[in-house]
Amino acid sequence: MLQGCDVTHFSRIDRHNYVAKTVKRAGVKNGYTVEVEPRITCTDGKWKVPDLIFTRGDEVVVTDIAVAWEGARPLSTEYFRKQKYYSDGHFLNALGARYGADKRILIAPFIVGARGTWCAENRTLVSVLGMPKHMQETVILDTLKGGWTIHADFYRRTWRHTGVSRR
């Protein structure tokens, strides 16, 4: 229910967006201009839509955010999967055309566990954006609150359809 239930789809989007808003705020506070969900047409004609692109000076920082399940697979697996996806040559060429071929491009996903676990690889983006500790803690708390909301929405919606009284 926390990751793939149709009943909780919109609550999961809200949880993701709270995380994205905090990451965006960290970049803005550190002088970055931020684009939210820009549609980038790659040189092969396909689209990619990262969650945030930060620009400042000669830097372009691409981040895609995920609230991933902490199971047998480490969170770093999702981090490196996203990093590989956005490191595609067609995408990087499109970024060069859009922002200038002389820009330094960094692909830095941001992954947090659905139960509040922190992905060690987030240190790259945290360092670049200068994200203070209290904002990192906000991300974890917002993720946990989102999980509680998802649980509440699931139970509220499923009980309504069972016809069983909840005394």
Domains of the chain, each with CATH number or no CATH:
6-157 (3.40.1350)
Residue 44: its pLDDT value, please?
96
The pTM for the full model equals 0.85
Give CA–CA dist 166/148, Å, rounded: 19
pLDDT at res. 1: 40
Extract the tokens encoding 19.
């995380």
Angstrom distance (rounded) from CA 73 to CA 163: 38
Residue 160: what pLDDT? Answer: 60
Average pLDDT over residues 16-29: 94
What integer pLDDT is reported at residue 59 of this predicted model? 97
Tell me what pLDDT residue 2 has: 45
Query: Which pLDDT score, from 0 to 100, does residue 162 have?
Result: 53
pLDDT tens track for 110-128: 999 988 899 999 999 999 9
| The pLDDT value given to residue 123 | 97
Least confident of 63-72, 118-127, 154-163: 154-163
Instruction: Give the DSSP per-residue string, 29-72.
Output: HTT-EEEES--EE-TTS-EE--SEEEEETTEEEEE-EEEE--SS
CA-to-CA distance for 141 and 90, rounded, in angstroms?
36
| The Cα angle at residue 138 between residues 132 and 142, in degrees rounded to 5 | 155
* Among 19, 10, 3, 12, residue whose Cα is nearest residue 63: 19
pLDDT band at 58; cut points 50, 70, 90: very high
Is the pLDDT assigned to residue 155 strictly greater than 70?
no
